Amino acid sequence: MSDIDTVKALDAAIIQGINAKDASKATAPYAEDGAAMPPGAPIMTGHTAIREYWQAAIDGGLSNVVANLTDAHIGGDCAVTMGTLTGSMGGQKLAGKYVLYFRKGDDGWKVQRDIWNFDA
C-alpha cells in the first residue's frame, strides 16, 4: 500500500471505530503521544485520554458518522488529510470539518494531531 493510501486508510479507521462503537479501534490510528483537539474541550493527549474521549462520545450517542476526505498531502515523513464530516449525537444532526496531521516513524504512519469543529 502506498503512503497516501495508508494515511487515507488511517483517516477512515477513526470513523470506522466510532461507528462500530469501539473506542479502542477509533484510537488505534493515533500515535502514543498523539493529541485530539475537539471543539469546546481541552486537548486530549495520549492513547488513554483519546480513548476515554471517544468512549464518552460513543456513550453520549455519537453515531452515523460519515467523513468525506477532500484532500491528502504527504511531504517526507509528514502528511495531512482534511475533509468534511456529518453524523448525529443524541439525535442532533452534526456537520463540520476536520484536519489530521500524521508523522511516519519506526512504527509507520500515525495520527499526531486531530482537530475538528462543527458548522453553525
Q: For residue 70, which amino acid is it?
A: T
Range(s) of the domain holding residue 48: 3-118
pTM of the predicted model, to two decimals?
A: 0.94
Burial of 51 (0-12, 13-18, 19+ CB in 10 A): buried
Confidence of residue 76 (pLDDT cuts 50, 70, 90): very high
Handedness of CA 64, 79, 56, 21 (dihedral sign): positive
What's the pLDDT at 90? 86
Q: How many domains does the chain have?
A: 1
Render pLDDT for 6-38 as a digit per residue (tens, 0 to 9). 999 999 999 999 999 999 999 999 999 999 999
The CATH number assigned to the domain holding 16 equals 3.10.450.50
